[in-house]
Structure 1
Amino acid sequence: MTQQGKTMVLNHRQIQQKITRMAFEIYERNAGEQDLVVAGMTGMGYVLAERVVEKLREIAPFSLQLIKIDLDKSHPKLHEIHLSEQVPLAGASIILVDDVLNTGKTLAYAMVPFLEAGIKKMEVLVLVNRSHKLYPVAPDYTGFELATTLSEHITVDLNSEASTVHLH
């Protein structure tokens, strides 16, 4: 479906299915954990993290902490990275969540506060992986793989009941 030069890649139902599948994968890979910290990147990454936590709370017995990672995605090196909650991170298992993985740069910077805290392990979840890897960041959980050119843009809208992912 094309609208104003945009091609719909995922509709609301498909996005929900992918979130459900990824939540079950998280549960399976972390069945022995007592607690998980789900950290969503500012913007749609945090909204996706909220949806994943909501689904995990339906299916998984472990305790979940949801936090937001505030950073400037355009210039992550120039500005300090802030976590919305002060949760104990030493020895914690972290799921780092973002909507789209482009080059891996933003996710690499987002890992810093967790690595400095001495976490137990970290996994990465993305709704869309564009596979333009310039940094050594690979998702453990992927909703959708999409081969695109660097000039193409992915727009994720998770704020409504008509959630969509568009390519333009």
Structure 2
Amino acid sequence: MMAHLGFHVGWLLLLLLLQPAFGWINLHEVYKIVNEIPDVDVHKMVKSAENDIKDVDQVLKKVATGVQDLTDVILSALEKVDHSGCKCVDYNCGCCLDLKIPSIQLDDTARNPPSICFDIPNLKEIASACVEFYDLDISSSNFHGCIRVELELIHVKLVHEDLGCFNIPVKENMT
């Protein structure tokens, strides 16, 4: 309140000093104009900032829950891998194989395929996640690969986490 009073007094003194240069100044009108200048409510600004921080905290908690859900899905999928190179998650199944065609010297592999990205449920407007499989390799004894997860919030990368690598044994007749 004291700063507010000092602000008004400062304006009035300035106008009184400038009065000879500009002619007669109606002090009642000056005071009325000065009183219309809005006060800055620092307490209200701090409360608003605290609420914004709480909102961001809630969004980050939802993102963390989404990461945990994604991790559970990936681990569940890895548990369902059979040794034929095929795997199923719920009713979605897929098979991978190493394609070697020696007659035309084609060895097509997917050592570092592109990331698989998707929106996080209930946050699709502001948050997305990507799963990246990398360092994929298949040998006569196992299938090796690594998994990385990235999370973005409003197009800003928040999390870039390596989940680790896996080695899955393969049947000898697979390669």
Q: What band does the TM-score fall into relative to the shorter chain?
A: under 0.3
Q: Which has the larger radius of gyration?
A: 2
Give the TM-score normalised by the residue count of structure 2. 0.22
Q: Which has the higher contact order (CA 8 A, sep 6+)?
A: 1
TM-score by length of 1: 0.23
Which one has a larger percent helix, Structure 1 or Structure 2? 2
